[in-house]
Structure 1
């Protein structure tokens, strides 16, 4: 019986930006239906790791695999077409398009033809967006823009959702709403790779966690166990 490969895998990744050596042998994987979080202080290489996995940066050494297929150096569009959706840092909402237009432009069936996430389901999940459906992107609050970004990603019916700084800069009530949606995503069987500064929330929602320090994975394990290791988290994250 053939073992199902991870949805996304990085193996021994080294990445340079200009003359700066940012990633030093980073290896990680995300299995089907699994939620993984990447922790670390600012500037430790989390976003560079995501950008390398997504083909936005090419590693100088190491390999990227999607569903077991080598995708090192592939164009980002080729990678995301393998069932990956991205909610980027900064949200990426088109300012001159309405909420409806921002959502619809991402609509497509999943790899297996699934259409679980429709515009109607997104609006049911984010009632605030239904109220703002004809509003332009640049007229939305930060929280509303993040809802649009998540909704648009879900409308690709992905196997894996990558979120960079999922709740950064959002009010506590909006953060709570975003985490509730992430819980729904997890329960639906969609895998997730999450980066966020709210460490306790991340660990509570994740199956596995990894800690990055200066471009290296220095700690990895079950999220629940890591949450109990406060001394190590304090040492690496200055909690």
Structure 2
């Protein structure tokens, strides 16, 4: 094991064991290095690596602290990294969403309060006239966000949130290019909402699966067309504009 990796494991062990808790300040570099039997350089590199993934917070002139370690803090890094995935890799992200979101929706059918479900209803109304795509996308994001939070599991909600931004371009492009995509989205949101109100977890799970699978199927077909004869795989995609 590389010395930096060993240093990371030692610090992680202190956090996992409870020796270092969220918000705690790390001992001075020289003291901690001696205590762990590490070189100061290895410790410094480990601290740098752990700060990049939001486990540690280096405050210039003050010291290094353990962050809150809340899921939304740690998973911010996941969302940032996923933003750099190639367009065809969005399919993999949608597959993960298709696993996670139906589970969260089924959980929400059991745990969301009546008042939360009532406020969710405002997000599933069919808009009058020609709908604005930006408004629809914003409503779509908020609809899924509330249901994920309504699952009662903050880790699951944070995971779903981290997958939302990387798949956003595909959802926008589908709304622009696929006929009736906006209306279909609203109808599926309404079906999910009815299942939540009826406290039918499996029905809510099924509709959530259908909803996300629709975007995945559209993107798969669009990429097949874009990467047809004459195109190098992965060099063209419907999301690029």
* Shorter-chain TM-score tier: under 0.3
- The structure with higher relative contact order (CA 8 Å, sep 6+) is 1
**TM-score under structure 2 normalisation?**
0.23
User: Which has more radius of gyration?
Assistant: 2
Q: From the two aligned structures, give the one with the greater helix fraction.
A: 2
Q: From the two aligned structures, give the one with the greater strand fraction.
A: 1
